[in-house]
Structure 1
Amino acid sequence: MFNRMKLSVAALALMAGSALAQDSVTVGLVLEPPNLDPTSGAAAAIREVTQINIFEGLTRFGPDGSIHPLLAKSWDVEEDGKVWVFHLNDGVKFHDGTTMDAEDVKFSLERATAEGSTNAQKQLFANIETVEVVDPLTVKITMKAPTGNFDFNMAWGDAVIMGPESVAGNATNPVGTGAFKFVKWTQGDSIELAANPDYWGEKPALARATFKIISDPTAAFNAMMTGEVDYFPNFPAPETLAQFEGNPEFQVLQGSTEGETILAMNNRQAPLDNVKVRQAIAHAVNRQEVIDGAMFGYGTPIGTHFAPHHPDYVDLTGLSAHDPEKTKALLAEAGVENLKLRLALPPPTYARRGGEIIAAQLRAVGVETEISNLEWAQWLEQVFRGKDFDLTIISHVEPMDINIYARPDYYFQYGKPEFVALIDELAVTVDPDKRSDLTKAAQEMIAQDYVNVYLFQLAKAGVAKAGLKGLWENWPAPIDDLTAMSWE
């Protein structure tokens, strides 16, 4: 009798545990965010955790990249894009109980444009002239010049709305308006969120979510197989995907991202300030070998900083086709011998594996590399902020971000005046056909200047348990959206 009772209790406990699992999810995260404030850092991992889940913007990206209302329920575009009027949802509160209204929108946008702003994407706000509070639920934004895509700009993680009462602590204790509240950050291990019981919009199906930080590919595979992790949106071990594809306990989601993966070059660091040297390095690289060796075939070759799935994409891969003999000739023309370059690699698999392959390709044409493997915080400090590097490999996952090449102080330090003028014109152009022409011209200019070596568009290969629904197949922005997730 006692044994049967013990078994019954154990069975009930197991059933209870299974029931609990149905309102929680553990999401695998390859990189740990340096902080949790998407308006104060460039790391995509910040947005993966916080965007849409904790923090919300006036608008948001959908899974297909389309723009949807969020804190703004609607907006009017006046004077051919010179004036944008946003109408806010009523009854929205921050997680600390304070009201979100037009004053917070004004505060957030003016903070982003202020002198000394640490926002990584200041160009999103550069055309704002004034932000006016019409009433608590209406904001009027006047531009310096007409802007055709301001609703797109406002969907970025860098444009989320914050309250002045909590903004100072958002790096470690984020307070937003989203469907999930921050609970705990165990450095090096995990970030825990809980559903916001006072959420203004549709309540999420999940009660809890944990982002588990696992960068090692083998550990990621084991975590999925053992059930430690329910979902890896961007699985770091593509070589093992075949083992999941035939298993009914899992689902494999293959899609595209906005991640242009590049071998970035420091354009102001000799001899890389010479376009012939940059071109030589570009011709030394065999893209397909990198895709096959580092990504096991997952990835689309690119020849410029633009997503191939976009209708305005120009295929410029031929400009930098693999041609070792041309590399040697260009180096000779540039008078460069015994070239040795520093190759700084951040933690992602594509960078570490790709770096070894590219180092071998460069060695084959007489260019030696000194590889340094950096942790994410080191990479941000040394490469991104300090510009102390020759070469690095990184995926730029922000959508439509070719305008970063117009920033002379950006880490690869291009900022050609003619390109800046082109992007300035694009920013104020409303006509779709003219915008398309300017976008194509921008792609061609940076490809012909060999600013960087354009490797491949990062594929999104995710793995999840079979019963988890509401997952993004594609990744139009680095967002792990918890709000639509549910269990069958």
Structure 2
Amino acid sequence: MRKLSSLLLATLLACVAGHAAAQGVLRIGLVEDPDTLDPTLNRLATGRQPMTALCDKLFDVKADDLSLVPQLATGYEVAKDGKSVTIRLRPGVKFQDGETFDANALAYNVKRHMTLPGSLRRTELSMVDHVDVVDPSSVRFVLNAPQANLLLYSLAERAGMMVAPDAAQKLGDRFGSQPVCAGEYRFVERVPQGRIVVEKFAGYWDAAHTAGDPDRIEYLPIGDSTVRLSSLRSGQIQIAERLTPTDLPQLANDPRVKVVSAPDLGYHYIRYNSGNGPRAAIFHDVRVRHAVDLAIDRRVLVKALFNDQYQPGNQFVGPTSRYYDPAHPVPARDVAASRQLLQQAGVAHLTFTLLVPPERERQEAAQMVQAMLAEAGITMKIETQDDAVMLQNARRGNFDAIFNFWSGRPHPDGNVYAQYSCNGPTNDSKFCDPAIDKLMVAAREATTDDERQRLYREVNGMLAQAYPSSVLWHRRTFTGVSAKLTGFVPHPDSTIRVKGLHLQP
């Protein structure tokens, strides 16, 4: 069935490729079907791809040094005590339904992020007490703690994406299927498991600098990497996201394609259910989690599967980050110690199920981990689920362990707080250590880089002893790009910026 679906998709792409190129249509191959296109509720990294075209943010970050760049905002001022931030807004901005973007619209968006049921942005804006409308073009964020640096970087992510208030109120829980924002492109249609289509918005605030950008973009979920690569090489798509190192040799001598890369801010990890519902019994004991971790050889994984293009990892930042805790380096595999820990925990034979999405990288890694654990007397079953389904089951506690991927954030808080704080919105295992929470809050309020480094290293060290998850590697982001496409800049957050892309006929 999967082969048939791939064949049908390839045939469809071939039929429309010539027409698409003639009409200035950019086609982007995604590794999976995105979840909701509501910035408040979106969770999957693939969802950020179309949302980046649809929804401008208050700020963005530079690809090279991750410094802030104004987008819908023009600047900001931080109070001396660090407990308020005044942001100046860009004049003349319209949402795609014609509504004006102003201070009241921003205040509405912040309230929506903080109060909408199921919001994944609430934790990112937890430092905000309220927003004051100073005048139509400026607002003041009043903070309940001096966390101005964290706030600004949160506003350069999904929390800074602005949606049209009228449309959001009218559509309610259907907004994610018909998003209205203030980006360069407006939403046209979505065919589930088929495509997401956006087209140039004539009233875009920066239209003068985007005249040469594609008129239309089609985002296509192509989970089969073979089909995705062949579609890129034949010109049926012009961008293929998240290539793996094993894809690279196929493209090395193809003049029709170029591969660009950037170091990634995120990490791949196995999360253990240690406290979410009845299925948490398997991994409630830290010795059991530690035993599984010890049976995995991260270096062998990275060498065998990724040709050493990725970095073995064990923390929420990579070994090259200033926040990495050198006191707890990537551990060596120790099967004997793994067996001993299980004995101490009174587990005669450990058996559990790992939920894995159909993505090739994690599928192959899961099979290798399965073999490694078997050598330690651990039986790991693999159950494949679509990413959105897997994360839904994780939220409900309907899992033993999941093989997850976090796309990474410029501020280290974005890599740890939501995942491991007691009430974090993506803390699916319900892992909770008040001492770690206290350190993370202190790190949020740190006013110097040195203080922030010391605190995050302490957090890293405590997580390295608690094993709420097993971080396995930090990757590079490899993106396949047609030679006919110019202006593409890879970003460490793996999100494709479409502004400035030019497609030759």
Fold shared per TM-score above 0.5: yes
- For 1:480, the equivalent position in structure 2 comes to 496
The CA distance in 2 between the partners of 1:335 and 1:23, in whole Å, is 64
Return the letter of the residue paired with 2:223. Answer: S
SS at match of 2:81: helix
Match of 1:403 in 2: 417
1:438-477 C-alpha deviation (Å, 9 max, x unpaired): 11111111112122111001221111112322223333x2
The counterpart of 2:455, out of the listed 423, 430, 438, is: 438
Tell me, in whole angstroms, the C-alpha distance in 2 between the residues paired with 1:21 and 1:274.
60
Q: What is the match of residue 469 of structure 1?
A: 486
1:232 paired to 2:237: no
What is the letter of the counterpart of residue 81 of structure 1? G
- Specify whether residues 160 and 19 from structure 1 end up closer, same or farther in structure 2 by C-alpha distance, changes over 3 A only: closer
What does 1:275-294 correspond to in 2, within 5 Å? 275-294=286-305
User: Aligned partners of 1:118, 1:220: CA distance in 2, in Å?
Assistant: 33
Q: Deviations over 1:265-296 (max 9, x none)?
A: 11221231111111111110011232234434
1:372 correspondence with 2:380: no
Contact 1:61 1:68 in 2 (8 A): yes
Distance in 2 between residues matched to 1:360 and 1:367, nearest whole Å: 9
Query: Would you say the 8 A contact 1:408–1:416 is kept in 2?
Result: no
Kept after mapping to 2: 8 A contact 1:30/1:215: yes
User: 1:172 pairs with 158, 174, 177, which one?
Assistant: 177
Q: For the residues of structure 2 that align with 1:98 and 1:474, how far apart are their CA atoms?
A: 31
> Could you tell me how far apart the structure 2 residues matched to 1:164 and 1:178 are?
15
Q: 1:32 to 1:413 in 2, by over 3 A?
A: same
Corresponding position of 1:42: 43
**Selected match of 2:268 from 248, 251, 261:** 261
Structure 1 stretch 385-394 or stretch 18-27: which is displaced more?
18-27
Determine helix, strand or coil for the equivalent of 1:46: helix
Question: Any unmatched runs of 5+ in structure 1?
Answer: 1-16
Letter in 1 for 2:225: P
Q: Deviations over 1:293-343 (max 9, x none)?
A: 443433111121113443222346646321111111111122211110111
Q: Aligned match of 2:465 in 444, 448, 455?
A: 448
Task: Give the secondary-structure state (helix, strand or coil) at the position aligned to 1:100.
Answer: coil
Distance in 2 separating the partners of 1:107 and 1:407: 28
Alignment of 1:21-32 (within 5 A): 21=22, 23-32=24-33
One-letter amino acid of the counterpart of residue 182, structure 1: F
The one-character-per-residue Cα deviations of 1:342-367 (angstroms, maximum 9, x if unpaired) are: 11112222221111111111111000
User: Alpha-carbon deviations, 1:406-442, whole Å to 9, x = none?
Assistant: 1346112222100111111112222222111111111
Would you say the 8 A contact 1:49–1:479 is kept in 2? no
State the shift of 1:380 in Å.
Answer: 2.0
SS in 2 for 1:234: strand
Matched residue, 1:188? 193
TM-score in terms of structure 1 length: 0.91
Alignment partners' CA distance in 2, 1:22 and 1:245: 29
Q: Please state whether the residue corresponding to 1:39 is helix, strand or coil.
A: coil
Aligned residue runs from structure 1 range 120-139, under 5 A: 120-139=120-139
Identity %: 24
CA gap of 1:98–1:435, structure 2 versus 1, over 3 A, is same
Aligned to 1:166, the other structure's residue is in SS state: helix
The letter of the residue matching 2:56 is E
Partner of 2:249: 242
Structure 1 segment 8-407 matched on structure 2, within 5 A: 20-21=21-22, 23-51=24-52, 53-64=53-64, 65-114=66-115, 116-149=116-149, 150-167=151-168, 168=172, 169-201=174-206, 202-204=209-211, 205-235=213-243, 237-268=244-275, 269-315=280-326, 318=329, 320-383=331-394, 385-399=395-409, 400=412, 401-404=415-418, 405-407=420-422
Distance in structure 2 (CA, Å) of the matches to 1:289 and 1:319:
12
- Normalised by the size of structure 2, how large is the TM-score? 0.88
Q: Deviations over 1:182-220 (max 9, x none)?
A: 112121111111111111013252211111110111111
Aligned to 2:9: none
Shift of 1:154: 0.5
Contact 2:114 2:122 in 1 (8 A): yes
Q: 1:21 to 1:416 in 2, by over 3 A?
A: farther
- Give the match's secondary structure for 2:268: strand
1:383-414 per-position Cα deviation (integer Å, ceiling 9, x unaligned): 2x112111211111131321121134611222
Secondary structure in structure 1 of the residue aligned to 2:190: strand
Contact in 2 for aligned 1:293/1:353 (Cα 8 Å): no
Cα offset for 1:222? 1.7
Aligned residues: 468
Partner of 1:221: helix, strand, or coil? helix
Aligned position for 1:14: none
| Structure-2 separation of matches of 1:280 and 1:448 | 12
Deviates more, 1:56-65 or 1:366-375: 56-65
Note if contact 2:270-2:403 (Cα within 8 Å) is conserved in structure 1. Answer: yes
1:42-84 deviation line (CA, Å, top 9, x unaligned): 1111112112x11122111232332111111011111332110
- Conservation of the 8 A alpha-carbon contact between 2:26 and 2:503: no
1:460 maps to what in 2?
A: 477
Which AA in structure 1 matches 2:435? E
Runs of 4+ in 1 over 6 A off after TM superposition: none
Q: Which amino acid aligns with 1:480?
A: I
| Bigger mean CA offset, 128-137 vs 204-213 | 204-213
Q: How far apart, CA to CA, are the structure 2 residues paired with 1:311 and 1:79? A: 26
Cα offset, 1:225, TM superposition:
2.2
CA distance in 1 between partners of 2:266 and 2:351 (Å):
28
The 8 Å contact of residues 422 and 432 in structure 2, kept in 1 or not, is answered as yes
